Amino acid sequence: MDEGLAACRLIQFASVTVVFGASAFRLYAVRHGDERIFAHLDTRLRGILLIAAILALLSALLFVPLIGGRMAGSASAALDWNISSTVLLNTGFGRVWRWHLLVAALLVVACALRQVQPVYRLAVAAVLLASLGLVGHAAIEQGPLGIGHKTNDAVHLLAGGLWLGGLVPLGMLVLLARRSEHGTYLALLRDVLPSFSRTAYGAVALVAATGFVNAVFLVGSIDGLIGTPYGRLLLVKVSLFLLLLAIAVINRLILTPSIRGEARAVDRNCRAVVDGWHRADPRSRHPRGGQRARKPTTRHPRRWSFRRPAPLIRTRVCTRK
């Protein structure tokens, strides 16, 4: 039962993280460029977001009977509708999870409709991701300390989702740039990487700070970090965090300069091709692609006049002899 809950919670977190991080990526990183490229990117991204939203809704629904079976202490109790309804209607977890299911359904609708603006999709995904912090370890504590712990968990989840979820559209953009024969996606990737890097720096700092606060809340000492199951799990999380941090450093110091160099090479090749065209045809140097077209002149037929010509004035030159 515990393994099923862990798997369901992992699917829930991963799917909501993808929707939140990818929606945010579309707003802060991909802002200027060709509208046709944006339309193609949005089409591919919309399919990924819809699949992730459906997985989030299904895993949220499956989470209720699993919690009921754990509370009853029997795997067969997960199939009992009365136990599931009791969990959903008469427990503190159920009061939070009912709103969570509603927001998950709204997220599926927001990802399915093309008319929905990305900012609304981002807001719904942010609420859904932050609500996961209300049913975790912080739900046990009450009072101002509990509110602070829940807020810290929500910020921790949002920062992690902003960073990890943004890797999905970034990876998709890298694949499109490698498969494309033109340099449009490569130029877009060159413009996107600095924005993603700056956002990732802030998100990583928030993840580290809020993770340290969570460790203080839940572990409390070095002995608890080593001698308790949660402490050992926290060490695994810290190891994964350092691994992702190493990937981010490699991206910043190795991949980003190489992509910028390839983009500059593509620009130089394009300029060389254009210069070759100009040398072959001097008329193509005009900014509109050729010489300015001359306005055609029309010759009007000769107009005949029937007026009498003016009389010639003859002057007589008189000479004296």
- Pure H helices in the chain: 2-28, 35-72, 81-90, 92-112, 118-131, 143-179, 184-218, 222-227, 229-250, 256-280
Q: CA 284, CA 222: separation in Å to the nearest integer? A: 74
Cα 158 versus chain centre, distance: 14
- 280 DSSP 8-state letter: H
Selected residue with higher pLDDT from 239 and 290: 239
The crossing angle, in degrees rounded to 10, of helices 35-72 and 81-90 is: 110
Chain length of the chain: 321
CA atoms within 13 A of residue 239's CA, in its CB half-sphere: 6
pLDDT of residue 33: 63
Whether pTM exceeds 0.85: no
CA neighbor of 22 nearest in space, from 160, 165, 132, 227: 165
pLDDT at 291: 46
pLDDT in tens, 92-140: 888 889 999 999 999 999 999 888 888 999 999 999 999 988 887 666 7
Sign of the C-alpha dihedral, residues 9, 14, 20, 21? positive
- Average pLDDT on 49-59 reads 94
* Residue 96, burial from CB neighbour count under 10 angstroms (0-12, 13-18, 19+): middle
Whether residue 305 is predicted with pLDDT greater than 60 in this model: the reply is no
How many Å apart are CA 182 and CA 116, to the nearest integer?
Answer: 31
pLDDT of residue 103: 95
**Could you tell me if 198 and 210 are in contact, meaning their C-beta atoms sit under 8 angstroms apart?**
no
- Cα three-residue angle 165-166-168, rounded to 5 degrees: 75
pLDDT given at position 318:
47
CA 67 – CA 64 distance, rounded (Å):
5
Mean pLDDT across the chain: 77
292, pLDDT greater than 70: no
Cα-based torsion angle of the residue sequence 280, 282, 286, 287 in order, rounded to the nearest 10 degrees = 20
- For the chain, counts of helices (H) and of strands (E): 10, 0
Tokens of 204: 């990583």
CB-count burial class (<10 Å; 0-12, 13-18, 19+) for 38: middle
Q: What is the mean pLDDT of residues 62-73?
A: 84
Distance of CA 95 to the CA centre of its chain: 31
Instruction: Retrieve residue 170's tokens.
Output: 């970034």
pLDDT digits (tens, 9 = 90+) for 206-263: 888 888 887 777 776 666 667 677 777 777 877 887 887 777 677 667 766 666 555 5
pLDDT at 238: 79
Does residue 84 register a pLDDT over 50? yes
Virtual torsion, Cα 66, 68, 73, 76, nearest 10 deg: -70
Q: With 80 as the cut, is the pLDDT of residue 57 above it?
A: yes
> How much of the chain exceeds pLDDT 70, in percent?
72
* Amino acid, single-letter form, for residue 149: H
**How are the residues of the chain apportioned to helix, strand and coil, as percentages rounded to the nearest 5?**
80, 0, 20
Determine whether 100 is exposed, middle or buried from the number of CB atoms within 10 Å of its CB (0-12, 13-18, 19+): buried
Quick one: pLDDT at residue 284?
Answer: 47
